[in-house]
Amino acid sequence: MYLKSLWIGLCCFSVYPQPIESEHFIPVPQASVVISGKLEIPNNMDSFILILPGSGPDKRSAHSKLAKKLLAADIGVFRFDDRGVGNSTGTFTRGAQGLDTELLAIADYLKKQKQLKGKKMGIWAHSLGGIVLLNALKKENLADFYVFMACPATNMAEALAYQADQSGIRTAFRFGGRGDSKRKRAKHVLAINKIIAENTQDSIIEFKAKQYLKKNRLKHMMPPFYWNWYRQLLREDIEDEYAKLKQPFLVLLGEKDDKIDSHRVLAKIEALEHPLASCYLFDELNHYLKKGKLGKEAYQIDDKVVETAIRWMRSFIGHAQE
């Protein structure tokens, strides 16, 4: 009876092994912050993923479902708390400015870990995380493959105006009268965005923006030219960066995304005819590639999305090892 129980226990362990977990604190001297994260290594790992979140603020726990799916496929996971969130030090950063330095430090740290030597490394970036990743890749290659989930591929003036068109971005702007249509507000957002993107001096931005507001009789608004992070985000130049990628990359998009124009992104990626690019557009899925409203658990990514990504990773890793 004892031997039978032991055998059943061993079988269960081999089928459902628990990943080896370890806490890591990664200093980023250039930003005077320390990033806290967790590395999870499954039993038969041949590759691992660094999960790079969106605009946040996010704790590592936000990506629990994705992590479990990857670990079940024997893909290791490193996830971390945003700066100023959870156990990471510093002040939370709303835009993308400076976060590429943080990503470079994390990637360099992971490459030096003994338990990850000889393993293929990938980065799974969401939304703003994709901008951060593309900025970092301007400086050096970070990994063997990349997954871009709901990431923009147009200039940011257009991308943020699209948000206004879809949602009216009620919490960020108050353009025009209360009866104005979303599309009319989006037109004003795009105009202000272009003024910010095309000018660097604060005085010129304020002068031109106020001139536009006066001309169009906009009486009630919260001007974006007061926000430094917004100015920096609009100046992010990522439109041509996908074409420069030298590693396999996967683009995952949701048809119901109201943050980025997924059809426009799909068209731009396909137009590249990049030999290492794969792109999928999923029906009925939103910016977090899930159905329905976002809710508290935003990163409950649809199973078919994760399964598609895992199949893609497996085909790439298998090809790389031949």
132 lies in which domain range? 18-154+238-321
| Choice between 33 and 201, residue whose per-residue pLDDT is larger | 33
Q: Which residue has the higher pLDDT, 186 or 51?
A: 51
Instruction: Clarify whether residues 26 and 110 are in a common domain.
Output: yes
Identify the DSSP state of 276: T
pLDDT for 164 beyond 90: no
Question: According to the model, what pLDDT value does residue 217 have?
Answer: 77
Phi, psi of 119 (to 5 degrees): -95, 145
Q: What is the pLDDT of residues 295-320, one digit of tens each?
A: 666 688 999 999 999 999 998 775 44
Among 43-47, 181-185, 190-194, 251-255, the range of highest mean pLDDT: 251-255
Report the C-alpha gap between 226 and 169 in whole angstroms.
17
- Chosen domain end from 216, 234, 252: 234
Give the three-class secondary structure for 277: strand
Distance of alpha carbon 92 from alpha carbon 130, whole angstroms: 18
Q: Say yes or no: 251 and 224 in one domain.
A: no
- Whether 205 and 63 share a structural domain: no
Q: Write the CATH number for 295.
A: 3.40.50.1820
pLDDT number for residue 28: 95
pLDDT for the residue 101: 94
pLDDT of residue 12: 39
Mean pLDDT of 91-107: 90
Segment 82-100 mean pLDDT? 89
State mean pLDDT over 51-64. Answer: 90
pLDDT score at 319: 40
3-state secondary structure of 51: strand
Q: Is residue 245 located within the same domain as residue 128?
A: yes
Last residue of a domain, one of 201, 234, 267: 234
Average pLDDT of span 155-174: 65
Same domain, 58 and 134: yes
Better-scored residue on pLDDT, 46 or 206? 46
CA distance 36 to 86: 8
Q: Who has greater pLDDT, 194 or 274?
A: 274
Element (H, E) at 279: strand 277-282
Among 169, 202, 234, give the residue marking a domain's end: 234
pLDDT of 48: 96
pTM for the model: 0.84
pLDDT reading at 73 higher than 80: yes
Beta-strand pair 145-149/120-126: parallel
Amino acid at 143: A
Q: Are residues 162 and 135 in the same domain?
A: no
* Higher-scoring residue by pLDDT: 242, 3: 242
DSSP, collapsed to helix, strand or coil, labels residue 107 as helix
CA distance 94 to 229: 7
Structure tokens at 295: 């809710």
Contact predicate 167/258, CB 8 Å:
yes
> What is the rounded distance in angstroms from the CA atom of residue 163 to the CA atom of residue 166?
5
Mean pLDDT of 251-258: 95
Distance from C-alpha of 21 to C-alpha of 77, rounded to nearest angstrom = 10
- Are 135 and 265 found together in one domain? yes
Please list the alpha-helical segments (H only) found in 126-259. Answer: 128-137, 156-167, 182-198, 202-215, 228-234
Calpha distance 253→283 (Å, rounded): 9
Place of tokens 């105009």: 191
CA atoms within 13 A on the CB side of 77: 26
β-bridge pairing 75-80 and 33-41: antiparallel
β pairing state of 20-28 and 47-52: unpaired
Number of domains in the chain: 2
- Cα–Cα separations (whole angstroms), residue 84 to 32, 94, 214: 11, 11, 39
pLDDT at 218: 72
Q: Which two tokens stand for residue 72?
A: 């079940």
Domain-located, residue 3: no
At residue 167, does pLDDT exceed 80?
no
pLDDT at position 295 is 62
More confident residue, 209 or 28: 28
